[in-house]
Amino acid sequence: TSKDVAFVLNTIQKFPQGDVYSIGRYIGSIETPDQATVVIKLKEPFSRFLYYLLTGYRIFPEHVFTNKDMSNFTARDIQYIVGTGPYRVVEANFDSQIFRFAAYEKYWGGQPQIKSIVVRVIDESAPIPIMLKTGQCSMAMITNPALVAPAITDPKLKVAVARGWPYQGSFYTPAGLVVLNTAVYPFNITLFRQALAYAINKERIIQLALQGFGEIASSGQLPLSSPWRPQDLNEITYNISKAREILRSLGFVEGPDKMFRYPNGSLLSIKIIHTGGVASNIVPLIIQDWRAAGIDASEEVLTRLTYVNNLAYGYYQAALLLTNRPTDPDFVLTVFMDRNPAPTPIGQSVQYWGWTRYLNPEFNNYIMMARSAISDAEAYKYYAEAQRIAARDQWVIPLYYAKAIWVFNAADFTGWDPLFAGQGFPSHETILSVKPYQQQVVTVVTERVVTERAPVVTVTETQRITTVTSVAPPQQTEQPWLLYTLIAAIVVIAIAAIVIFRTSMAGRKT
């Protein structure tokens, strides 16, 4: 009811550390004149308020969470779940990681033609191409583009791409970026960070690591094709000579081996940390580029927990971050904007937005003016200035925005037109469009990268769908405290219609 909505908004004001999009500070009052109406009055203009409110926050039942410690309360009973999708949770086993869903007969958008779904967690290293070819799954969400070619050797399998994964009323686009620790020398020098950016061949990464499924990211952090990107932005493009020139100007000494050294004679070395998977295809390319620029670059593969801890405490130089993000200008520009009055010291933990330890009052001021704008034209002007600072200062080096890729079995299911049109899955239209050719058990495997989530799989059939979704790192934890449990549940609801699996044993119970 409206009281649940008011409860959530009041809670994020009470616990601002969980207000990841900072909307609480703008809320003046919240009224609930009836069970279906919420009236929110703002203290001041906030141009992105509705966008964040409708796409970034979840509803918690007031009767469950009242007087609970929101930072340490795990709600695992399905009665706690509040959702608005075409499926409802009928069973959730967190020990076995199996979740069952049934079509919701009162769904406002119509009846989905797949009546039940089983979602279970699988390891992201599962042999998805083999599963597709052998009929173990009918659809797979592909996060590693290298898997596409071996998967489509079967003529029954087709590929569709979208600009992102449909999620909570928005599209979350796969993205790759290098996060830099600006609290340590020489990463605290703007020119040094520029040299690192000049030395990276982004187009080569897209062609070799992503198999062409992506576009170069602007130096100002948005996609090059974004309507919010100023056309006169000073882009940092691949230029090894320029990178080496900058390093010389900073006093680094070039040896006979063409490698740069500090004045004391030690090698200029950088270690890139990452968590493996697709990152293992990308990092070696960056290392080659940086070594060509005279930097002794190396890599270290860490567990996700260690990776996140190193970023949080500042125990790193550079990190490759693979994540999914909406391409809204405010989100992209502020996601790594340290919100503390001073940079967080190394050794002191910070939320993801402070991982770079970068702080710039001028940049923050442009963001706040854009948020206070009363028209898109006015907001564009200020976001453009913020992008100019981002392109210059490079506290993160944006690499690419990739495509969301689906491989599916067109022989078993029909209604794929919305997917081919780039709608993605599970958008409202594609969920209601896809249907089996005949009554049969179908299995779907979906691989999906989400911020800090475990892999998930879904299997689907006419009467039952089992979907497998593999959740890979990124450690861009966009979700607050313990929204985890309910977030996961609602994500699962969204994924529910995403994938359509076939089990090889008809009548088998999952």
CATH code of the domain covering residue 22: 3.90.76.10
Residue 350 falls within a domain, yes or no? yes
Domain co-membership, 379 together with 422: no
Lowest average pLDDT, out of 11-15, 150-154, 178-182, 278-282, goes to 150-154
The pLDDT assigned to 123 comes to: 66
Rounded to the nearest integer, the mean pLDDT of the chain is: 81
Distance of alpha carbon 38 from the chain centroid: 29
| Judgement on whether residues 184 and 285 belong to the same structural domain of the protein | yes
Instruction: Dump pLDDT digits (tens) for 367-383.
Output: 999 999 999 999 999 99
Contact (Cβ atoms closer than 8 angstroms) between residue 503 and residue 466: yes
Domain edge (last residue) among 35, 65, 95:
65
Same domain for 100 and 42: no
For residue 474, give its domain range.
78-163+403-496
Which of 344, 372, 400 marks a domain boundary? 400
Per-residue pLDDT for 455 more than 70?
A: no
The predicted model scores a pTM of 0.79
Query: Confidence band (pLDDT; 50, 70, 90) for 506?
Result: very low
Asked whether the predicted pLDDT for residue 6 surpasses 80, the reply is yes
> With 70 as the cut, is the pLDDT of residue 501 above it?
no
Domain assignment present for 228 = yes
Do 258 and 301 contact (CB within 8 A), yes or no?
A: no
Write down the pLDDT at residue 263.
Answer: 93
Please write the tens of the pLDDT for every residue from 323-334: 988 889 999 998
**pLDDT number for residue 287:** 98
The contacts of residue 172 (CB under 8 Å, 6+ apart) are 164, 165, 324, 325, 326, 450
Alpha helices in 144-239 (DSSP H): 148-151, 190-198, 202-208
- Cβ neighbour number for residue 10 with a 10 Å cutoff: 14
Residue 436: inside a domain, yes or no? Answer: yes
> Would residue 310 count as lying in a domain?
yes
State the DSSP code for 252. P
Residue 70 lies in a domain: no
* Higher pLDDT among residues 47 and 456, named by residue: 47
CATH of the domain at 416: 3.40.190.10
What one-character-per-residue DSSP string does 99-131 give?
Answer: EEEEE-TT-TT---SS-EEEEE---TTS-HHHH
> Do 312 and 268 share a structural domain?
yes
In terms of domains, do 220 and 343 share one?
A: yes
Residue 85 domain-assigned? Answer: yes
pLDDT digits (tens, 9 = 90+) for 207-220: 999 999 999 999 99
Asked whether residue 113 falls in the same domain as residue 39, the answer is: no
In this structure, are 324 and 428 located in the same domain? no
Tell me the C-alpha distance between 46 and 43, whole Å: 9
pLDDT interval class at 74 (50, 70, 90): low
pLDDT over 60 at 364, yes or no: yes
The total number of residues shown for the chain amounts to 510
Shared-domain flag, residues 83 and 117: yes
Domain match, 250 and 335 both:
yes
**Is 501 within a domain?**
no
Per the structure, how many domains does the chain have?
3
CATH number at residue 200: 3.10.105.10
Q: Does residue 461 share a domain with residue 338?
A: no
Q: For 119-128, 242-251, 280-289, which range has the lowest pLDDT when averaged over its residues?
A: 119-128
- Residue 417 pLDDT grade (very low, low, confident, very high; cuts 50, 70, 90): confident
Do 111 and 259 reside in the same domain of the chain?
no
Please check whether residues 293 and 353 belong to one and the same domain.
Answer: yes
| pLDDT computed for residue 392 by the predictor | 98
pLDDT at 134: 82
- Smallest CA-to-CA distance from 254 within 70, 263, 44 is with 263
| Domain C-terminal end among 357, 378, 400 | 400
Task: Give the best-scoring range by mean pLDDT among 129-143, 155-169, 239-253, 483-497.
Answer: 239-253
In a domain? residue 71: no
